[in-house]
Chain A
Amino acid sequence: GENVEQHPSTLSVQEGDSAVIKCTYSDSASNYFPWYKQELGKGPQLIIDIRSNVGEKKDQRIAVTLNKTAKHFSLHITETQPEDSAVYFCAAPTSNTGNQFYFGTGTSLTVIP
Chain B
Amino acid sequence: DVKVTQSSRYLVKRTGEKVFLECVQDMDHENMFWYRQDPGLGLRLIYFSYDVKMKEKGDIPEGYSVSREKKERFSLILESASTNQTSMYLCASSPRTGGILYEQYFGPGTRLTVT
Q: Which residues of A come within 8 Å of B, CB atoms?
A: 6, 9, 31-32, 34, 36, 41-46, 49, 89, 93, 97-101, 103-106
Which among B31, B42, B50, B108 has the highest number of chain A CB atoms within 10 Å?
B42
Count, A-B residue pairs, CB within 8 A: 54
Complex contacts, B94 vs chain A, CB 8 Å:
99
| B42→A99 contact, CB < 8 A | no
| A44→B106 contact, CB < 8 A | yes
Q: Could you tell me the distance in whole angstroms from the C-beta of A72 to the nearest C-beta in chain B?
A: 17
Interface size class for chain B? 20 to 34
| B108→A41 contact, CB < 8 A | yes
A46: contacting residue among B40, B95, B103, B107, CB under 8 A: B103
Q: A98-B31, A99-B31 known; A105 and B40 CB under 8 Å?
A: yes
| A34→B48 contact, CB < 8 A | no
| B97→A99 contact, CB < 8 A | yes
Hey, what's the 0/1 contact readout for B53-69 against A, CB within 8 Å counting as 1?
Answer: 00010100000000000
Q: Binding site of A, secondary structure by majority: helix, strand, loop or mixed? A: loop
Name 6 interchain pairs, CB-CB below 8 A, sorted by A.
A32-B102, A43-B92, A43-B108, A45-B106, A99-B94, A101-B104
Verify if B12 is at the interface (C-beta below 8 Å from A): no
Q: Whole-angstrom distance between the alpha carbons of A97 and B51 in the complex?
A: 13
| A99→B102 contact, CB < 8 A | yes
